Amino acid sequence: MKIFIDTADTAELKKAFDTGLVDGCTTNPSLIAKAGRDFKEVIAEICKMTDGPVSAEVASTDYETMLKEGRVLADIAQNVVVKLPLTWDGLKTCSDLTADNIKTNVTLCFTAQQAWLAAKAGATYISPFIGRLDDLGMDGMELIAEIRALYDAHGYETEVLAASIRSAAHVKDCAIVGADVATIPPSVFNKLLYHPLTANGLDAFEKDWASTGQSIL
Ligand code: E4P
């Protein structure tokens, strides 16, 4: 499963890319507002940090304007993925951008039938939101499993990009049910590695090694 980082904070992103384990980045209008920077500048900066896919979301909701915005965003760098909402206009825009060989990420997906329509529109990625479903007492992970089964049954190549991830357990479960990508907030990415027994065990090994007075080099 590929790892994308869900942020427009370039300092956090740099730390994550430095691990060598991150494959791309996703942003959304809320993350851009939180970063407090010029949208196109941030996307250009992120695209220089990685050759991997960088999702940049359109701001309009009507077909004609989304198509224009999508083309502007795609011109920023070759690795921009245009993010579009799961509406009829969004799907129509997705079909047109796909026909122009522009990569797309259809976002705000909450049902398998929505994901099916996005695949029919040729989306490169579908973004089902796990955490926001869990918040309503529903099962976000079940949605990931349903989309996986639907896409596999019909041979759709759209990649399942699990979004709205809130915990390390979400990430692990996404990998188990077969998501192609998980887009992870930096705070959750940092937690993926941590286990107290790893940290305590390493402390003990360091102390015991020092007590031997030896050196490997
Ligand atoms: C996906 O691309 C979205 O940017 C994101 O995962 C939404 O997460 P949230 O529900 O925590 O806002």
Q: Are the CB atoms for 114 and 86 separated by under 8 Å?
A: yes
Q: Note the pLDDT of residue 21.
A: 98
Nearest residue by C-alpha to atom 10 in ligand 1: 164
User: Which positions ≥6 away from 121 have C-beta within 8 Å?
Assistant: 91, 92, 94, 95, 98, 106
| Phi, psi angle pair for 56, to nearest 5° | -130, 125
Q: Is the CB of 129 under 6 A from ligand 1?
A: yes
How far apart (Å, rounded) are the C-alpha atoms in residues 23 and 196?
A: 27
Q: Buried b / exposed e across 15-31, counting CB within 10 Å, b at 16+?
A: ebbeeeebebbbbbeeb
- The dotted CATH code for 2-212 is 3.20.20.70
Q: Is the CB of 79 under 6 A from ligand 1?
A: no
197 CA distance to ligand 1 centroid (A)? 31
Instruction: Identify the pLDDT of residue 195.
Output: 96
Q: Is the CB of 183 under 6 A from ligand 1?
A: yes
* Ligand 1 pocket check for 174: Cβ under 6 Å: no
Closest C-alpha residue for ligand 1 atom 11: 164
**Per-residue confidence (pLDDT) for residue 152, from 0 to 100:** 98
Residue partners of 172: CB distance under 8 A and separation at least 6: none
- Which atom number of ligand 1 is nearest to the Cα of residue 55? 2
Residues pairing with 159 in the sheet: 125
* DSSP state letters, 75-91: TT-TTEEEEEESSHHHH
Cβ of residue 164 lying under 6 Å from some atom of ligand 1: yes
105 lines ligand 1 (CB under 6 A): no
Choose, from 14, 48, 83, 191, the residue flagged as catalytic: 83
Q: Which residues pair with 126 in a beta bridge?
A: 106, 160
Please tell me the predicted confidence (pLDDT) of residue 45.
Answer: 98
Instruction: Give this prediction's pTM.
Output: 0.97
Cα separation values, 153 from 145, 149, 150, Å: 12, 6, 5
Q: Which of 112, 124, 108, 113 is nearest to 52 (CA)?
A: 124
Nearest CA to ligand 1 atom 9: 164
Task: Give me the average pLDDT of each 10-residue run along the chain (217 residues).
Answer: 98 98 98 98 98 98 98 98 98 98 98 98 98 98 98 98 98 98 98 97 98 98
Spell out the domain ranges in the chain: 2-212
pLDDT at 120: 98
Active site residue 83: yes
Q: Which atom of ligand 1 is nearest to the CA of 26?
A: 2
